[in-house]
Amino acid sequence: MRIDDTKLEAVRNWVDTNFDLFYANIRGDNRWIYQIPNYETFKYPEEFLDIKYELMDMFGVPVYARQDRDIYDAIGVQIEGGFTHSHLDNNEGDNVHFRLNVLASKSIGGGMPIIADEIIEVEEGEPWICYSGIEWHSTTEVKGDKRRILLTYGFTLPKDDKFFDDVWNDYRREMFLV
């Protein structure tokens, strides 16, 4: 499973020409973010939305999944020294927050997701899922002069949705279901 580089290239170019829309992420240095709470009034490259639908199809996200209202769909940029500290995203009541992610640009070193204490080695264009409301997640520190560009799409679904059937284990059930 891989996202076509021509689409990623279009998003990378859009980031270059629209970087004034990004703001410094208050959660850490060397990080910027641009959030897209809706596709009616916010600017975005059309390939960004194409990729969302492609990822939903790849991961079998049901069409009734709702847009998360914690982070929304977003583009994150990190340069050398940037990283994401370990955290959980906010769930919405009994609805679990999860995210589909893909790197439009992979840094020379670092920038890899860490999910539930495990480093996930991903290539540019190689998507992954993070059950971000129930799995602690972070990233390794970006190294080198090539920036990391993350495309991230957030959803919520009820905790008992069959989409999560393979996800729950005792540990997560303990922290969320009780």
**Which residues bind to Fe ion, rule: CB under 5 A?**
89, 132
What is the widest separation between alpha-carbon atoms in the chain? 47
- The CA distance from 46 to 165, in Å, is 32
Strand-strand pairing, 118-119 and 137-139: unpaired
Task: Identify which of residues 105 and 132 has a Cβ nearer to Fe ion in the complex.
Answer: 132
Rounded least distance, CB 4 to Fe ion, Å: 26
**Exposed, middle or buried: residue 58 (CB in 10 Å: 0-12, 13-18, 19+)?**
middle
Rounded least distance, CB 65 to Fe ion, Å: 17
SS3 content of the chain, % helix, strand, coil (to 5): 20, 30, 50
**Exposed, middle or buried: residue 155 (CB in 10 Å: 0-12, 13-18, 19+)?**
buried
Rounded least distance, CB 107 to Fe ion, Å: 18
Do the Cβ atoms of 157 and 68 come closer than 8 Å?
no
Task: Identify which of residues 50 and 176 has a Cβ nearer to Fe ion in the complex.
Answer: 176
Using CB atoms, what's the residue nearest to Fe ion?
A: 89
Task: Identify which of residues 80 and 89 has a Cβ nearer to Fe ion in the complex.
Answer: 89
Rounded least distance, CB 46 to Fe ion, Å: 26
Rounded least distance, CB 88 to Fe ion, Å: 7
Task: Identify which of residues 68 and 89 has a Cβ nearer to Fe ion in the complex.
Answer: 89
Task: Identify which of residues 10 and 157 has a Cβ nearer to Fe ion in the complex.
Answer: 157
